[in-house]
Amino acid sequence: MATRIENYSRLNPTRVMEDFTARKPDMIVQETAIFLQLEEVEGHVRGILSGETASTIQYPFYQAFAKEVWKVHKHYGGGNPVIDEVALLVYKWKTRGLTEAVLNKIRDEVFAIPAPTP
């Protein structure tokens, strides 16, 4: 514990503030871009759900699925790892009570990720 306190006692609050102030504009631009992407994804999912027979109480769960797929797609970029990870997400949310057909439709139409081949 003492070592940890010693490490933090060396920090200069003025230097930390200067560093944060210098990085803040780039951080704002980056976060704004991310939230715009997520807003677009949520809009697509709302459009899909409006045409489906899914219960409205489950809409937040479908949105959570879409955010997880977005995160996986952003992390891996594409290819087989994305296909496999999204297949696991479909299975996860199907076992939690969501309709597999709707999950697959979100995967296909919003993210254009193909179904895994057996």
Token pair 């797609």: residue: 73
Domain range for 50? 31-111
Residue 14 lies in a domain: no
pLDDT in tens, 42-91: 999 999 999 988 889 999 999 999 999 999 999 998 889 999 999 999 99
Which pTM value belongs to this model?
0.81
Residue 8 lies in a domain: no
Query: Over the chain, what is the mean pLDDT?
Result: 91
Burial 33-48 (b: 16+ CB within 10 A, else e): eeeeeeeebbeebeeb
Q: Is residue 100 included in any domain, yes or no? A: yes
In a domain, 3, yes or no: no
Question: Would 118 be classed as within a structural domain?
Answer: no
Q: Does any domain span residue 42?
A: yes
pLDDT band at 104 (very low <50, low <70, confident <90, very high): very high
Does residue 63 fall inside a structural domain?
yes
CA–CA separation, 95 vs 4, rounded Å? 44
**Does residue 3 register a pLDDT over 90?**
no
Q: How many folded domains does the chain comprise?
A: 1
**Is 93 part of any domain?**
yes
Banded pLDDT at 4 (limits 50, 70, 90): confident
pLDDT of amino acid 111: 94
Per-residue confidence band for 113, with pLDDT thresholds at 50, 70 and 90? very high
Q: Is the pLDDT of residue 6 over 80?
A: no
CA–centroid distance for 27 within its chain: 18
Residue 2 confidence (pLDDT) above 70: no
